[in-house]
Amino acid sequence: MKNSDLKTWGARAAAWSADYLDNLRDRPVRPATRPGDVRASLPAAPPMEAESVETVFADFESLVVPHMTNWQHPRFFAYFPANSSPPSVLAEWLTATLAAQCMLWQTSPAGTEMETHVLDWLRQMTGIGEGWHGVIQGGAGLATLSAILTARDKALDWQSKEAGLFGQKRLRIYASSHMHSSVEKAVFLSGIGRDNLVKIAADDEGAMKADAFQAAIDGDRAAGHIPCAVVAVLGSTGVGVSDRLTEILPIARAEGLFSHVDAAWAGSALICPELRDFARGIELADSVVMNPHKWLMTNFDCSAHFVKSVDDFKKTMSITPAYLMTQDADDITDYSQMTMELGRRFRALKLWFVIRCYGVSGLQKIIRDHVRWTAELADRLAATQGFEITSPPRLGLFSFRIRPATVSDGEALDALNAKLVDAINGDGTLYLTQTVHDGRYVIRVSVGTTGTTADDIDIVYKKIVELAEPLQGI
């Protein structure tokens, strides 16, 4: 391919993209692909001679696309959204064209300064307060890992950077029982060890119990351990519960613990002032992560990580061999000095395109629609015979199950609801996933795809009721 071929093929890819997104409703959300199907359709060895773009593009359409789970499908209600939008797609193309490495200011001045600036826009949009410095990470899990690594080294006054953890006292990390699995992963990858992750019981609303948190710290100090950090969650993955930051963060402050807030999904809702209540007190945290790649119309990967002390992250992550020295420059940010990554993508460009092309009010409208539709759908199911709401709508998420009058046994109900999920996902009209809540199998509905409309919500309601009907009679 010559550079100038991008004109023809770019136009073709653009047309394909627009048609794909416009016609997604006609495709199943999930393909009927069996494990091994895709590889069986591909040649075992790479081509020795160049193939035409025509052939490769045709194979993309016939061998790849039919075997994709369509995350941008308007009736994708599984997991959490990983949404996108036309301005984001456009910027991603341009990012690939520039193919710049954003490790140092001088390797990409615009990449670096846009990252700082656009995240400061997002800081203003979300109302999280002053004093934050933004960095874009490849995922919330990576932001949480970098926060735990920083908390670890800070607690040991960075001696660990030279000596490792050998001979050190135990570091203790606290999190609610509703934390995301990435917290556990960060704790074992950091060498702190899973035994030192203290899961604090949650109250009836799903928030970490503050007195239990305080008691755990006191007990650990008495045992000679080092209380190191707390990870609070806003919008848990199961049913969307949040810790009460106004209770947890003052304790962390008073006890000298590093605090990290995982708002991977729910954080995007902060752009709507009337939805901010769940995050009250967030300004006291040391570190906060939220994913525009989940619910802010920006395609993966774009995880916004806000930190109070850049210096703490730098002390933990920085390494400066001669070839990475920047000469004659003060007051610059070399992002690779505060992140785990050395080579870094220009991720800020797509967020800049998205914020400008929608405007804050355009993004607010989408999120408000999602939140309203979530509540309306939950209300409709609650009013339908044989259905039960198992966790109330929280932002764009609720859970339900069917509960026929004739079935009371817990395990039989679990099995029946598992059957319903299979029936729904086998049908292809929509895609839902399950979780275990309070020990019981429940079905999650997560509304957050850019292309979802009120009509889709109506179709979903009718389809769920239709597919549940044969199971309701059992």
Ligand X SMILES: *Cc1c(COP(=O)(O)O)cnc(C)c1O
Give the interface with ligand X as residue ranges (CB under 6 A): 80, 139-141, 180, 182, 233, 236-237, 262, 264-265, 291, 303
Min CB(169)–ligand X separation in Å: 28
Other C-beta atoms closer than 10 Å to the C-beta of 205 total 9
Residue with tokens 């755990």: 216
- Both tokens assigned to 42: 């591909």
Of 209 and 305, nearer to ligand X (C-beta) is 305
Min CB(448)–ligand X separation in Å: 11
Of 263 and 420, nearer to ligand X (C-beta) is 263
Chain position whose Cβ is nearest to ligand X: 139
| Beta-bridge mates of residue 233 | 262
Min CB(445)–ligand X separation in Å: 15
Of 179 and 416, nearer to ligand X (C-beta) is 179
Of 236 and 337, nearer to ligand X (C-beta) is 236
Min CB(468)–ligand X separation in Å: 27
Q: How far apart are CA 91 and CA 346, in angstroms?
A: 10
C-alpha distance from residue 69 to each of 42, 98, 232 (Å): 19, 29, 31
Of 235 and 386, nearer to ligand X (C-beta) is 235
Of 185 and 314, nearer to ligand X (C-beta) is 185
| Strands 387-394 and 397-402, sheet pairing | antiparallel
Residue with tokens 């339908």: 384
Q: How far apart are CA 74 and CA 58, in angstroms?
A: 25
Min CB(168)–ligand X separation in Å: 28
C-alpha distance from residue 386 to each of 400, 406, 427 (Å): 11, 10, 21
Whether residue 218 has a cis bond before it, omega within 30° of 0: no
Alpha carbon 57 to its chain centroid, in Å, reads 31
Say how many CA atoms lie within 13 Å of 303 toward its Cβ: 22
Of 196 and 303, nearer to ligand X (C-beta) is 303
Min CB(178)–ligand X separation in Å: 9
Q: How far apart are CA 336 and CA 146, in angstroms?
A: 12
Q: How far apart are CA 318 and CA 337, in angstroms?
A: 4
Min CB(65)–ligand X separation in Å: 23
Min CB(7)–ligand X separation in Å: 35
C-alpha distance from residue 383 to each of 221, 386, 394, 458, 464 (Å): 51, 9, 18, 15, 14
Min CB(182)–ligand X separation in Å: 5
Of 238 and 428, nearer to ligand X (C-beta) is 238
| Strands 440-446 and 397-402, sheet pairing | antiparallel
Of 156 and 239, nearer to ligand X (C-beta) is 239
Q: How far apart are CA 433 and CA 456, in angstroms?
A: 17
